[in-house]
Structure 1
Amino acid sequence: MSARVVDLPVQPGMTMSSVRRQLAAALPDLGEDHLYDVQLVVTELVSNVLDHTSSSGHLRVRWDLDPCAVLVEVDDESAVEPVYGRSRLGEHRGRGIVVVDNVCREWGCRPRDEGGKTVFALVDCTG
Structure 2
Amino acid sequence: MPSLRVDLPSFAGTYRSAAGLVALGNCNGATARRLAAVLRGAGAVPGRAPLDVELPAVPEALQGLRRTVRRHLGAPCPDVQLCVTELVTNVIRHVREGAPVRVRVARTHGGRIRVEVTDPAAQALPVRVASGPDDETGRGLALLDAVALRWSVPRGVEGKTVWCELRDVDAAS
**8 A Cα contact 2:55 2:101, kept in partner:** yes
What displacement does 1:49 show? Answer: 1.0
Q: Supply the distance in 2 between the matched residues of 1:101 and 1:24 (Cα, whole angstroms).
A: 21
The residue that corresponds to 1:27 in the other structure is 73
Q: Aligned partners of 1:4 and 1:94: how far apart in 2?
A: 33
What letter matches 2:73 in structure 1? L
Q: Does structure 1 residue 44 correspond to structure 2 residue 86? A: yes
Greater share of strand? 1
Pick one of 137, 151, 159 that aligns with 1:107.
Answer: 151
Give TM-score, length-normalised by structure 2. Answer: 0.62
How far does residue 52 in structure 1 lie from its aligned partner after superposition? 1.1
Q: Secondary structure at 2:138's aligned position in 1?
A: coil
- Aligned position for 1:75: 118
Alignment correspondent of 1:10: 55
| Other structure's SS at 1:92 match | coil
Q: Please tell me whether the aligned partners of residues 49 and 56 of structure 1 are also in contact (alpha carbons under 8 angstroms).
A: no
Percent identity (aligned): 30
**C-alpha displacement at 1:86, in angstroms?**
5.3
Q: Is the 8 A contact 2:57 2:101 kept in 1?
A: no
Q: Which structure has the larger Rg over C-alpha atoms? A: 2
For residues 86 and 77 of structure 1, the distance between their equivalents in structure 2, rounded to whole angstroms, comes to 26
Greater RCO (CA < 8 Å, at least 6 residues apart): 1
1:15 alignment partner, SS class: helix
* Structure 1, unpaired ranges of 5+: none
Report the number of matched residues. 119
Structure with the largest fraction of helix: 2
Name the CA distance, whole Å, in 2 between partners of 1:111 and 1:12.
19
Deviation of 1:115 (Å): 2.5
Moved over 6 A (4+): none
Q: Which residue matches 2:101?
A: 57
Cα distance in 1 for partners of 2:52, 2:62 equals 15
